[in-house]
Structure 1
Amino acid sequence: MVRETIRFWRQGRAVEVSGFHPRTTLLDYLRLQERRVGTKEGCAEGDCGACTVALGHVSGGRVHYEPVNACILLLGQIDGAELVTVEDLAAGGELHPVQSAMVDAHGSQCGFCTPGIVMSLFTLYHEGERPLSRESVNDALAGNLCRCTGYRPIVDAALQACGEAPNDTFVANIEQNVQGLTTLEDGQDIFVGNETRFFAAPASEDSLAALYAQHPDATLVAGCTDVGLWITKGMAEIEKIIWLGRVTGLDRIEETSDMLGIGATVTHVEAHPSLARIDPDLGELMRRFGSWQVRASGTVGGNIANGSPIGDLTPALIALGSELELRHSGATRTMPLESFFIAYRKQDRVPGEFVRRVSVPKLKGNEVFRAYKISKRFDEDISAAMGAFKFTLDGRRIAEARVAFGGMAATPKRALDTERALVGLSLDEPSTWGEAMAAIARDYQPLDDHRSSAAYRATVARNLVFKALSETASGETRATRIIGQRDALQAAE
């Protein structure tokens, strides 16, 4: 069965939409069709958060809400979800608790960004950990820019409203909303349009494989955190879009004693806990991966398939020795993750073939991992360079090494000369580390761009080799890090 509409839950009822253009964004639908103009357009690229809305999905018997950027999310992607906008929060003539707290704390200034901030606080109100810390609030608001620079009262409002268990109309209506969302789950493929222009959402891998083989010129989207910018900024006239968000099985996380399998449509929010259990540096890397809005939409498979040379996760996965699984029609194949990247924006993927999952080896007792993201801003910034290291130790000597960098070449790339120079080094003899540090210059010839100069990147990469060795030798990070200190993270576990 094929459905020619999308369906979502809105204000306590099912909404069905048909005949929409495949490139229609959720923001355009809200403002131009529903005429709900509380959701604003600020940057149109998923950075400022003025367009933040919440999507709800059923899990564990209740609705879980996550923030998304409506400016780069396609309308078709909200199929099966509950859509909540700023207009939906007040009830019975009374403001929602997060809105009241914003008023009490004087958290709104010019007001343009306020609806998006309120929606991020709404999701924090429902999903935040208790007790709530100021750091957690800052993480939740990292994707919302206040151009009036009034963050302190906004954070105060969050601490006031979100510190206790949620108690609003959404909690009161939980049974109705769960039942309504459950009725939308029909397991059908979606195809809106015709053979030359369509938005499609297959419900199974077999349906996806068949459709993509038939339309290898179609654009696959998972979270749309990158393709969305092709549409809003690049004005790309994409006519065929296949959304992977309904494909059963691609959203699975499978774990064994020595391996973590992550399906292509697992979001960064969903992958975060499992990756953090492999190593604290992976957890810290994921915490700084875009914003909550981006992490809730963007997927691990999308970050890999995108092929960006400055993607943060891929170098870390390469250093860990991950393998990639792809499917074309009924056939699958696997390869080392680093072999997937051929040249800038070019991957070893034939027409009609898609990323299925990535398998990440867990660390053994004699293996050490380190990852470092270097960027101009701490929050929501693309790396100038991202380095990842895995050392296999034989006592106090390095028996094997895997090193990968992003931002240093046209693709995420291993540092093979550096790896060879690291083998045999003693952690107790820093005077012998120079050759490994110098070898990085043979592995990479970085470029100048608006994020960094080539000279800066080269110096940073060299220094990160020394930093990884120093931390491995001492087992401490208090002297080498301002943030993400492993000592504090491990003490808290």
Structure 2
Amino acid sequence: MRDTIRFLRAGAVVELTDVGPMDTVLDYLRLTERATGTKEGCGEGDCGACTVALGRLVNGRLVYQPVNSCIQLLGMIDGAELVTVEDLSADGKLHPVQKAMRDLHGSQCGFCTPGFIMSLFTLYHAQGMERSRKAVTDWLAGNLCRCTGYRPIIDAALASCFDAADDAFAWRASETRDALRRLADSRDVFLGSTESFFAAPATVEGLAAIYGQHPDATLVAGATDVGLWITKGLRTLPKIIHLGRVSGMTRIEETPAGLFLGAAVTYTAAEPALTRIAPDLGELLRRIGSKQVRASGTIGGNVANGSPIGDTPPALIALGARVELQQGDDLRVLPLEDFFLDYGKQDRRPGEFVAGLFVPRPEAEHFYRCYKISKRFDQDISAVMGAFRLTIVDSLIHEARIAFGGMAATPKRASGAEAALVGASLDDPATWGAAIRALTMDYKPITDMRASGDYRTEAARALLVKALMEASGATEPLRLKGAAHQEGGDNERAA
């Protein structure tokens, strides 16, 4: 067992022993290092002012990803390279993205600028990106500016980020890879005491053992939710167990039958495989949070926290996904919809944790769609999330799986609408009416700041009609991409 966390910083290894379970990367930078270029804005991972880059090895390749340091726990960066805005200039010369921001007037007050610079740094080092305004706006959706205006920032990105990387980080990439390999080990990490600790086990067996001993501990994968418990909820979490180092928890396994995702697989890592399962899933994931959130947040965490407005559970329930739970050496598997019992309550025993998810691949007779309704296009919580899988033979619906988020205390199937759709004909919209009416009995949504109950009911009914019309071929799939994502001002159709 190791009682330190280690990470790479400006080419040197930093090793820390005095790390509290709730310490954040932002606080370490500003209060310990006094590296104050990284700013604190919203404190909840929305504005991007605190963005830093983490370098990790992905299949042997050095990859830099943006993260929100305000909600990234310090212990979670063990084994990574931490890069901040102070690190970018070299030999008195600005980094290419810094120079482009200066030359093209991408900064006024400058408070948000370091976060933009760090997001652009990760875009600068991304591979295979097409030079386009859409690519830039997707990448910067998690960075907000209130005085400069986005046009010159986007211009700076287009001018600097799409040629081959030619900076100090590219020049020493081989040395960085070697250093990260030396940091990697298979030892469990434990800092603190039995009363208060940060733990990062390296194996599933180690996780099962420590969680069995401390079932009151908080499990953390990406901290995109738990981080807000600390910064906004001001909760005290004396025991934290991080899942990011657990061997097998980041496993992605594709088979003809479907896709297995370990509980610590991030949205970013899962997106290509889930898009191959269903293109609508890829579009959904692109609208969950931001690049920073998706680089840290996990599918398993979105399921395990049991939020009634989580985006992925309804989409996966409609596909017939199953959740794998582990307690000690015991494994059990149950349909994902059965995992959610009530608001904030899941079918999870003391010491039991989500180990992974299996997502079945749609078959030839399956028609699948999922839709997200929210006030903002990017980085917003759903008002209504609807997902539909229809089994269709000769234009007749033989089976329907329908799940909604935001309509009940848990992600929930529409059992009445499902039953009413069996036998309905896609060629005869008159046969759809019973299912549309049944939705009003399946759900009694509440009114809150995101939407009224009546709006949610009408939106759910409209989404069901939309899915049936697309299944019938009466209308082509149309997905609003958002004004910031439009090329030439026209809405783009989904592939």
What TM-score do the two structures reach when normalised by structure 1? Answer: 0.97
Q: Does 1:322 align with 2:349?
A: no
Counterpart of 2:398 in structure 1 is 399
Supply the distance in 1 between the matched residues of 2:474 and 2:192 (Cα, whole angstroms).
Answer: 58
Closer, same or farther: CA 486–365 of 1 in aligned 2, 3 Å: farther
Residue 61 of structure 1: how far off its partner (Å): 3.6
Residue 224 of structure 1: how far off its partner (Å): 0.3
Letter in 2 for 1:385: V
Supply the distance in 1 between the matched residues of 2:343 and 2:117 (Cα, whole angstroms).
Answer: 39
Counterpart of 1:376 in structure 2 is 375
- Give 5+ residue unaligned stretches, structure 2: 483-489
Residue 489 of structure 1: how far off its partner (Å): 4.2
Q: Does 1:482 align with 2:486?
A: no
Supply the distance in 2 between the matched residues of 1:381 and 1:482 (Cα, whole angstroms).
Answer: 15
What secondary structure, in the 3-state scheme, does the structure 1 residue paired with 2:67 have?
strand
Counterpart of 2:167 in structure 1 is 168
What secondary structure, in the 3-state scheme, does the structure 2 residue paired with 1:433 have?
helix
Q: Is the 8 A contact 2:369 2:389 kept in 1?
A: yes
Question: Could you list the per-position Cα deviations for residues 422-468 of structure 1 after superposition, in whole angstroms to 9, with x for gaps in the alignment?
Answer: 11111111122111111111110000100011110011001111000
Supply the distance in 1 between the matched residues of 2:237 and 2:373 (Cα, whole angstroms).
Answer: 33
Residue 131 of structure 1: how far off its partner (Å): 2.4
What secondary structure, in the 3-state scheme, does the structure 1 residue paired with 2:125 have?
helix
Letter in 2 for 1:483: K
Task: Give the percent of matched residue pairs that are identical in Structure 1 and Structure 2.
Answer: 60
Closer, same or farther: CA 154–349 of 1 in aligned 2, 3 Å: same
What secondary structure, in the 3-state scheme, does the structure 2 residue paired with 1:92 have?
coil
What secondary structure, in the 3-state scheme, does the structure 2 residue paired with 1:127 have?
coil
Residue 163 of structure 1: how far off its partner (Å): 1.7
**RMSD over aligned Cα atoms:** 1.4
Counterpart of 2:200 in structure 1 is 201
Q: Is the 8 A contact 2:272 2:282 kept in 1?
A: yes
Q: Does 1:15 align with 2:14?
A: yes
Letter in 1 for 2:24: T
Residue 59 of structure 1: how far off its partner (Å): 2.5
Letter in 2 for 1:379: D
Q: Is the 8 A contact 2:479 2:494 kept in 1?
A: no
Supply the distance in 1 between the matched residues of 2:74 and 2:425 (Cα, whole angstroms).
Answer: 56
Counterpart of 1:112 in structure 2 is 111
Supply the distance in 2 between the matched residues of 1:465 and 1:315 (Cα, whole angstroms).
Answer: 14
Supply the distance in 2 between the matched residues of 1:476 and 1:24 (Cα, whole angstroms).
Answer: 51
Counterpart of 1:277 in structure 2 is 276
Supply the distance in 1 between the matched residues of 2:127 and 2:456 (Cα, whole angstroms).
Answer: 37
Runs of 4+ in 1 over 4 A off after TM superposition: 484-489
Q: Is the 8 A contact 1:372 1:388 kept in 2?
A: yes
Supply the distance in 2 between the matched residues of 1:350 and 1:28 (Cα, whole angstroms).
Answer: 34
Question: Could you list the per-position Cα deviations for residues 374-414 of structure 1 after superposition, in whole angstroms to 9, with x for gaps in the alignment?
Answer: 00000000000000000000111111000000000000000
What secondary structure, in the 3-state scheme, does the structure 1 residue paired with 2:40 have?
coil
Closer, same or farther: CA 280–476 of 1 in aligned 2, 3 Å: farther
Q: Is the 8 A contact 2:480 2:491 kept in 1?
A: no
Counterpart of 2:452 in structure 1 is 453
Return 122-131 or 23-32, whichever deviates more. 122-131
Counterpart of 1:59 in structure 2 is 58
Q: What is the 5 A alignment of 1:94-113?
A: 94-113=93-112
Return 210-219 or 469-478, whichever deviates more. 469-478
What secondary structure, in the 3-state scheme, does the structure 1 residue paired with 2:13 have?
strand
Q: Is the 8 A contact 2:300 2:356 kept in 1?
A: yes
Q: Is the 8 A contact 2:481 2:492 kept in 1?
A: no
Residue 165 of structure 1: how far off its partner (Å): 1.4
Question: Could you list the per-position Cα deviations for residues 297-335 of structure 1 after superposition, in whole angstroms to 9, with x for gaps in the alignment?
Answer: 001110100100000011000000000100000100000
Counterpart of 2:335 in structure 1 is 336
Supply the distance in 2 between the matched residues of 1:136 and 1:450 (Cα, whole angstroms).
Answer: 31
Residue 129 of structure 1: how far off its partner (Å): 3.3
Counterpart of 1:148 in structure 2 is 147
Residue 26 of structure 1: how far off its partner (Å): 0.5
Supply the distance in 2 between the matched residues of 1:475 and 1:107 (Cα, whole angstroms).
Answer: 46
Q: Is the 8 A contact 2:401 2:418 kept in 1?
A: yes
Residue 236 of structure 1: how far off its partner (Å): 0.4
Q: Is the 8 A contact 2:142 2:379 kept in 1?
A: yes
What secondary structure, in the 3-state scheme, does the structure 2 residue paired with 1:295 have?
helix
Letter in 2 for 1:122: F
Counterpart of 2:222 in structure 1 is 223
Q: Is the 8 A contact 1:128 1:162 kept in 2?
A: no
Letter in 2 for 1:321: G
Supply the distance in 2 between the matched residues of 1:206 and 1:60 (Cα, whole angstroms).
Answer: 24
Residue 139 of structure 1: how far off its partner (Å): 0.6
Residue 280 of structure 1: how far off its partner (Å): 1.1
Supply the distance in 1 between the matched residues of 2:459 and 2:283 (Cα, whole angstroms).
Answer: 19
- Give 5+ residue unaligned stretches, structure 1: none
Counterpart of 2:138 in structure 1 is 139
